Structure 1
Amino acid sequence: MPTPAPSFTELVRARHSPRQFQPTPLPAADIRGILEDARTTPSNSNTQPWHVHIASGAARDSLSEALLKAYEEDRPSADFATGYGNGVYQQRSHQHAAVVYGTRGIQRSDREGRREVVRENLRFYGAPHVALLFMPILGDGVRTAGDIGMYAQNFLLSLTARGYHGIPQAIVGQYADTVRASLGVPSELKLLFGISFGVGDRTSPMHDIDVGRVPLQQSVVLHDTPGVLDER
């Protein structure tokens, strides 16, 4: 008997971000199917503002080398400012870091160990492919960035539906000039982030780490919508 297809709820809750991949490339037909799924994403006035570059093989290796060089030489070139403030968002970021570094056995005082985690990011965690998500600046860019976020979620869910894995990587966007130079992307296209993808390495302790999610009560406010947040 064939295995029943997962429901959407099962699919979206199964998606996670492994931090170690097998090196085997995905079939070209599957990558094409993932891109076909992702292009169905809704966008503001149907502008479809996503510009996606996929790097594999030698191009992927060359990009990784360029990113590592920019990191070691302290040459960040982000198109967008980063930061988490001083409140709950910063706390969540710190909790996330504690889980990731803790799983690797890296202490907060281990500066070189923490730098090696950054290098692993820029090696795309060993994934055979990386998608770089660029956008034009339309207006203040906020709606366009939201469209790119929805595109990325479709891309990630399509990977999951096919038995593959992906991890969004904001750190790649910190070296936008390096990525543009490596891939020949024009300067008017701004880099939001990358998605490394392939088959997760289930033998790695970094495959199934759980960074957690806040309860609904911390992110949802209901207006005349009774019963949704009742205890179950």
Structure 2
Amino acid sequence: MTKLTFAEVVAARYSARQFLPTAVDPQHLQGVLEDAQRAPSNCNTQPWHVHIVSGRTRDKVSAALLGAASQEQYSPDFSFDEKAFPNLLNERRREQGRAYYEALGIARGDNEGRLEAFRRNLEFFGAPHVAFLFMPMIGDGVRAASDLGMYAQNFLLSLTARGLAGVPQTLLGMFADPVRDVLGVDADMKLLFGISFGHPDLSNAAANLRIGRAPLTESVRFHD
């Protein structure tokens, strides 16, 4: 395996949305988790509680999520209001959705195709492993959630450096109760999101989709 520079790893990371069933080598998984554990956190509190699901447990969680979704039994620990997105952010969100459905060949009015694409989220896009990121609720939760974000970025970059891939999924956090039930997680641990990961299936268009980034001028201001 060719060793990449940090800049190359960052450029190579993307959200794969189709995986091979091949399990990740345990040594590689151990390395990914050790890399993620090096993430910074507020006062070194390391508030992340991570549950890795594979095999039968993975299948049980997926079945629970699909069952809850079919009954529209959402149970998010954190609010998420799509209508509250400012115009620019909403434009980016819509563009991502348009590009994804186009890659899958799903037309705008194909409700059945879109429903199947939604279900694929809850089947983890075929990934053999999922990392569920939980956190304790401290104050309004913003600082602990920020720490989990840095942990997740280390996790994703470490996967990329090893020729693997992952996709962080906000949708998994919309079904916190069934995930807690299957995994036996206490109610005081709040589910932020999950990361499906493994070997990307590069023969599938969903695993080859790349979304661009806004120019720095839209997000960075310099002050001398």
Quick one: distance in 2 between partners of 1:4 and 1:109? 44
Secondary structure (helix, strand or coil) at the match of 2:39 reads coil
Does 2:171 align with 1:162? no
Partner of 1:200: 200
Does 2:123 align with 1:123? yes
Q: What percent of counterpart residues are identical?
A: 52
Shift of 1:64: 0.4
Secondary structure (helix, strand or coil) at the match of 2:201 reads coil
Shift of 1:89: 1.1
Partner of 1:83: 81
Partner of 1:32: 30
Q: Deviations over 1:29-88 (max 9, x none)?
A: 111111111101110011000000000000001100110111111100001111242411
The 5 A counterparts of 1:202-221 are: 202-221=202-221
Secondary structure (helix, strand or coil) at the match of 2:119 reads helix
Secondary structure (helix, strand or coil) at the match of 1:90 reads helix
Secondary structure (helix, strand or coil) at the match of 1:206 reads helix
The 5 A counterparts of 1:59-70 are: 59-70=57-68
Partner of 1:19: 17
Which letter does structure 2 place at the counterpart of 1:42?
Answer: P
Shift of 1:216: 0.5
Which letter does structure 1 place at the counterpart of 2:217?
Answer: Q
Shift of 1:4: 4.8
Partner of 1:107: 107
Partner of 1:132: 132
Partner of 2:41: 43
Please give the TM-score of this superposition, normalised by the length of structure 2: 0.97
Shift of 1:206: 1.1
Of Structure 1 and Structure 2, the greater helix share is in: 2
Secondary structure (helix, strand or coil) at the match of 2:81 reads coil
Please give the TM-score of this superposition, normalised by the length of structure 1: 0.93
Q: Between 78-87 and 33-42, report the one with greater CA deviation.
A: 78-87
Structure 1 segments unaligned to the other structure (5+ residues): 225-232
Quick one: distance in 2 between partners of 1:205 and 1:37? 29
Which letter does structure 2 place at the counterpart of 1:159?
Answer: L
Q: Point out 4+ residue stretches in structure 1 off by more than 6 angstroms.
A: none
Quick one: distance in 2 between partners of 1:58 and 1:115? 25
**Quick one: structure 1 residues 4 and 21, their matched pair in 2 at CA, closer, same or farther if it must change by over 3 Å?**
closer
Shift of 1:28: 1.3
Shift of 1:14: 0.4
